[in-house]
Amino acid sequence: MSGGPTVRHGLKRGKHTGPRRLPQQGVEPSGLTDHASSPGQGNTAAPLSPGPKVGEPSLRKSGTPRYAELCAMTNFTFLTGASHPEEMVLRAAELGLEALAVTDRNSLAGVVRAWTALRNLREAAEEALAVRSDRLVDTCSRQDVGHQPPLRHRVLSALPKLIVGARLVLTDCPVEWVALPIDRAAYGRLTRLLTLGKGRTVKGKCDLRLADLEAGGEGMILIALPREEEESLPILSRLHGRFPGFVHVGAVPRYDGSDQQWFDSCARLSEQSGAPMVAAGDVLMHHGRRRPLADVLTCLREGLTIDRIGTRALPNAERRLKGAADVARLYRRYPEALHRTLEIAARCRFDLKELAQDYPDESDCGEDPQTRLERLAREGLSRRCPEGVPEDYLALLDKELAVVAELEYAAYFLTVQDIVRWARSKDILCQGRGSAANSIICWALGITDVSPKMIGMVFERFISRHRKEPPDIDVDFEHERREEVIQWIYDKYSRARAALCATVIHFRTRAAIREVGKVMGLSQDVTAALSGQIWGTSNEGAGAERMREVGLNPSDRRLMLTIGLIREIIGFPRHLSQHVGGFVITRGRLDELCAIENAAMPDRTCIEWDKDDIDALRILKVDVLSLGMLTCIRKAFKLLSDHENISHTLGSVPQEDGRTYGMLQRADAVGVFQVESRAQMNFLPRMKPKTFYDLVIEVAIVRPGPIQGGMVKPYIRRRMGLEAAEPFGPDLAEVTAKTLGVPLFQEQALRIAMVGAGYSAEEADKLRRSLASFRRMGTIAEHRERFVTGMEKNGYAREVAARCFSQIEGFADYGFPESHAAAFAMLTYVSAWLKCRYPAIFTCALLNSQPMGFYAPAQLVRDAREHGVEVRPVCVNHSTWDNRLQKRPDGTFALRLGFRQIKGFRKADAEAIAAARGNGYPDPESLWLRARIAPAVLERLAEADAFIGMGLNRRDALWAVRAIRAPEPLPLFADPLDGEGHREPPVALPAMHEGEEVVEDYVATRLTLRTHPVALLRSALQGVTPHGDLVATPLRWVSVCGLVITRQRPATASGVIFLTLEDETGVSNIVVWKRTFERFRRVVMGGRLIRVRGRVEREGAVVHVIAEQLEDLSHRLTELGHPLEGVVGEPAAPADSAPRPVRPPRPTARHPREQTKRLFPSRDFH
């Protein structure tokens, strides 16, 4: 090909000749904006004279080619671009490009990541660059818990300028357009244009037309990317006439041997239309080695396998970022096209830092936001403190108000307060959490409920003058009613001014194995086997050992290529979804700040940027989050009011209840918020909480930070009186007094730096935020020296200072804020109090709030029965949709299971049954006639044994309902007295044995009120110790067996797996060390009934079994019984009808592994 050899020859000559210095702070990289021309300058088709000095002349040799890449897609052109935005920016800097335009297809989704990467390179030239998509985040603490290796680089030359743009693909135009806004106003028109196209169609699509571009393209450099000369000329002439001086012909190499001929065609187009010709790379990847991945992405997009990709495959790796020397050789006959890239880059003056959010005014009756905030805060403090506001509260309030005024955040606080006020007016339970609970303003406004008495508020943890990001107020609402709050926000501010943030859905290992494996021709069995060996949504790859485990040959070339591609695609964005509740709200048009699109959910709209993009641009968002426990507590309060005539709110629940703390000390915490995991329940008997602040510590201490920092054991030993506290000195002793000299919270890290090392509040917060990156880059030494020296100046020994810093270093990046722990501890206490005092009410509310929490309904029901609650089965004559309470003769309450517990049952059918019930249904046919429900619904009820109240067992009921064939009652036969009704003769069916009944219970409702499955298998489990006997057994080595109800693999547990097994006597805690896990990986991850041989370890009342051998006994569960379908069979065909095939039974999972997964699923956490 004509262009190919020249390009390949240029690879060696295009490299850097040596490191060069970064520009001085405050100087625009490459000096591009210093030479911006007027809109019409230099836009003729004639060859250019030497253009403006775009680069830094002092750093460049005379005559060295210079180039700005104006057309580059990232992987935010989903399933097309083959490189992260961060990789593009770093490679452009390494190549010495003058500028890089990120131009994703009808999207601006990746530009903030590129902008952030460039900013980070400018600020920290020696640090590696993190790809945000590769980050792993703990969804509870919202802290980073892992990451892929960052992008390393040498000291870079002058950095490229980033140009914000988009590639506009129009539905009625064969020419695609690169749109590059030259200023802020043009950028707003581009985002409005994208919003218009996205608003016309479904999520992920864009319906833009040529007329839209003509109407809204003012102020944008428009580079046409023609495919054919003839069809493009009239469109080019039309747009050039509409926007003179702004339209260009993009000459993109075809890399098929016809480059120079195509450039000649582009030159003719330029001459005939009057639009100048400019070079454009149409880049897909930052480096040529991504070509195989680019082909895989094409296959995923087109639904092909790699063997059928044909001409859709890239012919070579030329669509990569290239240096100026390489590009100059390509365009050697048209040097003006190369120079024109510099001129265009200089004209594009817009920078994302110009985006300033126009936040809603929130003024009222002539009162400006700051004045109104101060008034409401002082009024709120008076309400909170009816006996008088303490002076220290007032001083803290004045300090916070001054910072808020300086940073102009008053309107933000008022918006959040308004949302909370409206929710409470509708009896929607809500509570603020996170670092916002460090603010007395939030407490005074009623946003949070954590008072200064509960914790020592550190406002700098929430808002800091130093920190270059907006505050973050998280408010949890009931998960079932949060949609009401979301729609109220849309109604108040309109969809033109409010939208949810996006969430980027990335390829994780399992999805990558499935999708790449399919493209590469691996069978479904192979990909399922490989993905089945991966834990959760981790980023770990599929190693050779795991391939051997599933019978694959790790040395197979095609398989190795597939594994390599899987590793590459992990972390790639797959598509955009909506954030869980992060709202961006503006006073003016939101679509001039960012593009808006329809969400997949009805009545929702989203912007294209995620919360990290928003934070990077310092745009305020309001987090309207959901929490299942708030739904549960609100429902429990309602049941308490209805059945006990007792009214409560979160704040009115009796405090410091001894019985409640006694229950928690026994680790009786199934269903209790935040302390129901096995790790927390194992810690409770050691912690023995007695006060509310003990719960604050309990919530925070079983977290990655304290564990990694080695804080847990010292704290417990001191709490148990086994060792004395070792405070660092009298001043710091006060900082850690409540935690026995062990720093557990992020706020304590801040105070230690301030009190001990003399840091200012801003410096301390910067230390906390910097520790993770410093440690990752290996440059922690100089920061440690600053800290230690500061403590020495304040009179501390160097050894003490070093030990103090080591503790902070160990947990600061993962530790819980004290404010967040306190907010959660309030819900922990309330839920524990409800469970302790009103177990039937609490269980009923928990079941009615599913899905939520750590345990499945089967375990919640079992726990309730162990606490003396009578649980009654689903019954067509007594149940409603929700689980409900029924009075017993002794005055206590029984729990009646509701129709919601039946798998696949619809709420509308439950309501129809309840509405037509009257005094009850005597038989299934009367239910069918009166409630007018389909026979399939009757069958579901029969399978759930819901006719037992009529005296019909499961098999008899199923026989009766299958006799009803019509989809609904016919009017002619609606009256059973008209003599036309036909009743089946009674039939004596064989009784089901207990095992069959248990299996069918799990099939229909996922729980049973009969015998536990393991009890039915007990006789076949020789030498197995019941879980209930573990505490008292004298044995050091035991075998235990049970259903797996939970699996946990914490991200910071070094590969350790925690299993919870259940039998008829209780549960046992199994610890599987990494080496054992690798030996028995398939058993640990896939088994539903597992036998474990291991060593017993005791610590007080806490017992663990350290697994040494594991055996999958899931096949034993099939011995309990078989699915009922097919037992009864279909009725014979009528004698007078023509022969026809009988409908076959519905397929069921017959393989033991699949059957047990369906019947006895576990809840897995990672």
Residue-wise pLDDT for 460-494, tens only, equals: 778 877 665 678 889 999 999 999 999 999 999 99
DSSP3 helix / strand / coil % (the chain, rounded to 5)? 45, 15, 40
Quick check: 31 pLDDT over 70?
Answer: no
Which residues are CB-neighbours of 639 under 8 A, at least 6 positions away? 841, 844, 845, 885
290 located within any domain? yes
741 located within any domain? no
Quick check: 1054 pLDDT over 70?
Answer: no
Reduced to 3 states, what is the DSSP secondary structure of residue 378?
Answer: helix
The fraction of the chain above a pLDDT of 90, given in percent, is: 57
**Quick one: 322 and 384 in the same domain?**
no
458 located within any domain? yes
Q: Nearest CA to 279 among 214, 350, 335, 211?
A: 335
Residues 418/462, Cβ–Cβ less than 8 Å: no
Domain boundary residue, one of 570, 601, 617: 570
Query: What single DSSP character describes residue 591?
Result: G
908 located within any domain? yes
Q: What is the pLDDT of residue 854?
A: 87
What tokens were used for 1046?
């939970």
749 located within any domain? no
CATH number at residue 1057: 2.40.50.140
CB atoms within 10 A of CB 896: 20
Cβ-in-10-Å burial (0-12, 13-18, 19+) of 551 comes to exposed
Q: What is the pLDDT of residue 707?
A: 66
Cβ-in-10-Å burial (0-12, 13-18, 19+) of 78 comes to buried
Q: Nearest CA to 519 among 562, 573, 556?
A: 562
**Quick one: 376 and 269 in the same domain?**
no
Residues 1045/1061, Cβ–Cβ less than 8 Å: yes
Quick check: 1123 pLDDT over 60?
Answer: no
The edge-to-edge listing of strands for the beta sheet with 99-105 is 68-72, 99-105, 161-168, 176-181, 220-225, 247-251, 277-279
Distances (CA, A) of 487 to 499, 502, 620, 655: 11, 17, 19, 35
Quick check: 166 pLDDT over 90?
Answer: yes
Query: What is the rounded distance in angstroms from the CA atom of residue 266 to the CA atom of residue 245?
Result: 17
Distance, C-alpha 813 to centroid of its chain: 19
**Quick one: 375 and 341 in the same domain?**
no
State the alpha helices, DSSP H only, in 473-543.
Answer: 482-493, 509-519, 524-531
Q: What is the pLDDT of residue 742?
A: 84
CATH number at residue 317: 3.20.20.140
Domain boundary residue, one of 312, 331, 353: 353
**Quick one: 966 and 1031 in the same domain?**
no
* Domains in the chain, number: 5
What tokens were used for 1084?
């640990």
Q: Nearest CA to 1160 among 942, 1008, 976?
A: 1008
Residue type for 895, please? L
- Residue-wise burial string across 451-463, b where 16 or more C-beta atoms lie within 10 A, e elsewhere: bbebbbbbbbbbb
Quick check: 127 pLDDT over 60?
Answer: no
497 located within any domain? no
Q: What is the pLDDT of residue 33?
A: 36
Domain boundary residue, one of 353, 375, 410: 353
Query: What is the rounded distance in angstroms from the CA atom of residue 553 to the CA atom of residue 1114?
Result: 28
What tokens were used for 1103?
């017992």
Specify the pTM: 0.81
Comparing 781-795, 919-933, 1103-1117, 1135-1149, the range with the smallest average pLDDT is 1135-1149
Residue-range definition of the domain harbouring residue 939: 870-977
Residues 1068/1030, Cβ–Cβ less than 8 Å: yes
**Quick one: 73 and 177 in the same domain?**
yes
> Tokens 């914490």 label which residue?
1050
Quick check: 148 pLDDT over 90?
Answer: no
The 10s digit of each residue's pLDDT in 863-875 is 999 999 999 999 9
Query: What is the rounded distance in angstroms from the CA atom of residue 19 to the CA atom of residue 963?
Result: 85
**Quick one: 169 and 299 in the same domain?**
yes
The 10s digit of each residue's pLDDT in 347-404 is 999 999 999 878 887 777 778 999 999 999 999 999 999 999 999 999 999 999 999 9
**Quick one: 963 and 1056 in the same domain?**
no
What tokens were used for 607?
């912007």
The 10s digit of each residue's pLDDT in 316-341 is 999 999 999 999 999 999 999 999 99
Q: How far apart are the first and last CA of the chain?
A: 52
Query: What is the rounded distance in angstroms from the CA atom of residue 964 to the CA atom of residue 982?
Result: 10
**Quick one: 321 and 377 in the same domain?**
no
Task: Identify the sign of the CA torsion 800, 806, 811, 817.
Answer: positive
Annotate 80-121 with DSSP letters as a single string.
T--S-HHHHHHHHHHHT-SEEEEEEET--TTHHHHHHHHHHH
Q: Nearest CA to 1089 among 1042, 1019, 1039?
A: 1042
Query: What is the rounded distance in angstroms from the CA atom of residue 1158 to the CA atom of residue 628?
Result: 25
Quick check: 1062 pLDDT over 50?
Answer: yes
**Quick one: 289 and 261 in the same domain?**
yes
The 10s digit of each residue's pLDDT in 618-634 is 888 889 999 999 999 99
Query: What is the rounded distance in angstroms from the CA atom of residue 278 to the CA atom of residue 1130?
Result: 74
989 located within any domain? no
Greater pLDDT, 438 or 196: 196
- Residue-wise burial string across 905-936, b where 16 or more C-beta atoms lie within 10 A, e elsewhere: beeebbebbbeebeeebebbbebbbbbebebe
How would residue 1133 be classed by pLDDT, with cut points 50, 70 and 90? very low
Angle between helices 410-425 and 391-407 (to 10 degrees): 120
Comparing 137-151, 336-350, 965-979, the range with the smallest average pLDDT is 137-151
The 10s digit of each residue's pLDDT in 450-467 is 888 888 777 777 887 766
Q: For 981-1001, what is the mean pLDDT? A: 78
**Quick one: 279 and 229 in the same domain?**
yes
**Quick one: 237 and 212 in the same domain?**
yes
Q: What is the pLDDT of residue 158?
A: 79
Q: Nearest CA to 13 among 95, 78, 124, 93?
A: 95
Query: What is the rounded distance in angstroms from the CA atom of residue 251 to the CA atom of residue 253?
Result: 7
Residues 610/504, Cβ–Cβ less than 8 Å: yes
Rg (CA), the chain: 34
**Quick one: 46 and 10 in the same domain?**
yes
658 located within any domain? no
Average pLDDT, the chain: 84
The pair phi, psi for residue 706, each rounded to 5°, is -60, -35
